[in-house]
Structure 1
Amino acid sequence: MTIRDITIIGGGPAGLYAAFYAGMRDLSVRIIDTQNLLGGKVHFYPEKYIWDIGALPALTGAKLIEQMVKQGLTFDPEVVLNTKIISFEKREDQLFEVRSHAGEVYLSKQVIVATGGGLFSPKRLPLQYDKQFEETNLHHNVYRVNDFKDKKVVIVGGGNSAVDWANDLLGIAGEVHLIHRSASFKAHEYHTRMLLESDASIHTHTIVKELIPDEQNQKLTAIRIRNSQSAEDTTIELDELIVNIGFDHELNFHHDPALKFRLKDDYYIEGSVKAQTAVEGVYAIGDILDFDGKVRLIAGAYSDAANAVNQIKMNVEPSADEKAQVSSHNERFLEKNNEIKNRFDF
């Protein structure tokens, strides 16, 4: 069984940067993620622009994922996907046994928790319907807005996701309807005002009562809605239905009392500015980590990752330097720099 210096639980921005930085420090790494691809929750907004990463002009979530993954895999870490971690424990020989839902055991000298906002699954409409519709035209997220070009789109929800997608699809979709059970919206005020002043059809105090499929029961052709104030029912024909009514949050392994993490708000792992947790040998980085002055930006996740890896390096090799040498002088990049020079004939 292969022993790694570090097992990183979570393959989003924090975990990927930790893998890269650990490579700079000549540490062996394993990344484990529950999803079938790396990138974390940035996959929820592949076409939205991200502006707040230092030195990078606005880029889409999809482009950010591409660049993060490429950088994270620079030093060839082991990658384990479709694997949910349920527990870990420290053995007498000081190695950690990290266990998955399927019973696999991964051995590691130290552990980094980079699980971000946690495990989420989209809330579904409280109706009986064929799950086949979720493979045709019932969506819980939007991956490519052009898939909805010139179509009649109905969106259910009143939070940030629903209102954002409604605004984004205006001018792309042929027609946009928003169904919301209340008259007040939980989305940001500016985006809500944009939507209310737009050409979208807004149906407040309204709930979905029935999904109406085609004759082959392959996809939806309409929904029946009810106004809770008038008790009147209306049928809206549609091409695409988007349901954004929130997410169910699953308990994660770090909630296990046996691990003895200190938690804030029953979720975030309390730690230090150097990413240390109450469990010796276990570090937390990115959104899952909380400390006084914590900044929940991707840039902050990168700082957490470097701090955690530097602590691990000194634990694994007590004589090691406190910090990695910067990349412009780091010997780990000499060969790679020469490869780039040869490629472009500098």
Structure 2
Amino acid sequence: MGAASSRLEKALGEQFPEGERYFGLENFGNTCYCNSVLQALYFCVPFRDQLLEYYANNKSIGDVDENMLTCLADLFSQISSQKKKTGVIAPKRFIQRLKKENEIFRSYMHQDAHEFLNFLLNELVDILEKENKSARESLPNHSSQKTSNGPINGQLNGSDKELAATWVHKCFQGILTNETRCLRCETVTDRDETFFDLSLDIEQNSSITSCLKNFSSTETLNAEDKFFCDKCCSLQEAQKRMKIKKPPNILVIHLKRFKYIEQLQRYKKLSYRVVFPLELKLLNTVDNSDLEYSLFAVVVHVGSGPNHGHYISLVKSHNHWLFFDDENVEMTDESMVQVFFGSAHEFSGNTDNGYILFYESLAEKS
């Protein structure tokens, strides 16, 4: 890493703000799934700022129980307060807490980065909601206090309830609406549900835009799949589609690269070429406005299957791209992103594929 390291140190002194830190994370035995996601989250600036603010507000409270939130806040604080601009930090306390909280991550086997991200965000929300509830209950006449925390994932009650108030929700949560139109009476039934990320089916030689279009494509419900229409009071043929009702500030896209093959009785990795642009227009929204997002992080899966391999991440910071591979941190070029689109051939030696994409709303940045 010698030449690359010196290039990074030189660039850090000339091209990056004084306060930024770029630290690799030590691997504690197949913990690359964790390290790669943590780097993406660290360079998700709205999330990082809120977490560091949480740390500053709570570090003086001596009796706060250690949990995933306090351990993550402590880790981000360690990184941001380092005297040097680059180096290596051991996220030992965070990994120990992760293994204590969830048995899935206790073994030294290869784990799934998307599964870890889902667990972490939901765990943070759970902790924050409990803290908010305790704070409300400590207020006088707390029974009349309006609760502002909504569901994390799943169905919303009502058309568009006030979104949950935790800062994790404000960063990542959006709302999908599932529209079902009865083909007999034309009545449209809407059902809303929240999401932290969109999991997209992928096809060979496609793009994120086409994957999103497929995600929102109209599906006909007929034969055994007929829809029970409340107005007709009977099963009817219907059309349904999913649209984005409220886009999130941070759009996380998970590419479903692991597919269960019935004949093989196992999961197979799809190394399909899926182009993900640096600037993304979100077209399939309820109000049909073209929302623009900018790519700032990519978690890459390296390897031929779901149960073995490696994770690395690319992040964008102050208009420069950096490459994180556990302890190693290097400067890289914007064109490097294209390397991880996938392979145009079914069988290829290139198994380094974009797996989780992080986009930030340009409206949020402005």
* TM-score for the superposition, normalised by structure 1: 0.25
* TM-score for the superposition, normalised by structure 2: 0.24
Q: Which one has the largest radius of gyration? A: 1
